[in-house]
Amino acid sequence: MKRLHVHVAVDDLAASIRFYSAMFASVPTVAKDDYAKWMLDDPRVNFAISARGAKPGLNHLGVQVESADELAEMSERLQKLDAEVVEEMGTACCYAKSDKYWATDPQGIAWETYHTLDSIPVFGHADASGAASGCCVPEPGVAKISGCIPLKAKPASGGCC
């Protein structure tokens, strides 16, 4: 079963955690110094917030799937859009390792379709120097795929999954 994913950039993480915990009548499933996530069943949504310097507001939307087969199905759907799609396999982002595809809707809203493989102890992956780097929402129009060929994504300023 698929789960809607919503990610909001916030200025004050603690105040936002209090607000959304009251709204959802639930504490975050994941809580870090710069990130929190609620895996809700009513409504069935993966709702995440982060305070990592991005402009406050909607960061991106997504569909979280539960298996590689569901991700392959979603990839087939995206290919039919005749839209720009970025593939990221085994990427480290938001304290998780995931396989994912990114597409941007006609209004410019980034959509992430992904399968979480494992949790990790850092927000993103380490760069060549060993320093942790942020994970990013690809810029619109980065790469068009046909048949799911892996492509490199350009980071968007302050974007993150």
**Tokens representing residue 60 in the block:** 């991106």
**pLDDT at 49 (0 to 100):** 93
Evaluate if residue 80 carries a pLDDT over 80. Answer: yes
**93 with 161: CB under 8 angstroms?**
yes
Q: Where are the alpha helices (DSSP H) in the chain?
A: 13-24, 68-79
What would the pLDDT profile of 104-129 be if each residue is shown by its tens digit? 887 788 889 999 998 888 876 654 44
**pLDDT at 105 (0 to 100):** 82
Structural domains of the chain sorted by starting position, each given as residue range(s) with its CATH number in brackets: 3-119 (3.10.180.10)
Strand partners, 111: 61, 103
**pLDDT at 156 (0 to 100):** 40
Q: Return the percentage of the chain with pLDDT > 70, whole number.
A: 76
